[in-house]
Amino acid sequence: MLVIGLLSDFSILLDFLSSDMRTNPRNSLAQANALSLQSEAEMKLTPRNVAALHLYAELVGVSSQEFLNRFLVEFLIAHFGNPQIGAAEPFLGSFEFKDREKAERLANWIKERITVPTSRDRTEVEVLELSQGGFKVRAAWVGDGDMGPIC
């Protein structure tokens, strides 16, 4: 079993990512490395994820920890931190929420992140109550007589 250290104080990281990350992800990543967070928690990976992590780390000749950290920087942080790439919204929108408050938090985040004040396009975001219980977030951009799904 592989146990990975995970930052438990996500609010610091999220505040950091939402500021400079939008305009300069490379510079932000360098600054993120300098953040000193006080607490760490442990996270267990599924056997399938451990196997994939070991496979790819071995292929490039680095430790699993080094591979995972680099993967997170280059794919999760860089892609999710840049709203122009549009990777975060569909992934986060795929989750179902047990309560409306959490779904509303994501809906507000998407609306704020995607809305461009000077654009004629607009972002439509709604929280749907599921018939089997729970909530889901749906979002789309609307402009010039066209509509495209965000999540």
DSSP string of 40-87, one letter each residue: EEEEEPPHHHHHHHHHHHHHHT--HHHHHHHHIIIIIIHHHH-TTT--
pLDDT of residue 43: 80
Below-70 pLDDT ranges, the chain: 1-41
Report how far residue 26's alpha carbon sits from residue 34's, in angstroms, rounded to the nearest whole number: 13
Residues 31-41 pLDDT 10s? 554 443 434 56
Q: Are 141 and 147 in contact (CB under 8 A)?
A: yes
CA distance linking residue 112 with residue 123, whole number of Å: 9
Q: pTM for this one?
A: 0.68
Residue carrying structure tokens 């990543």: 29
The pLDDT score that the predictor gives to residue 38 is 39
Indicate the length of the chain as a whole number.
151
H/E element, 97: none
Show the tokens assigned to 118.
């000077």
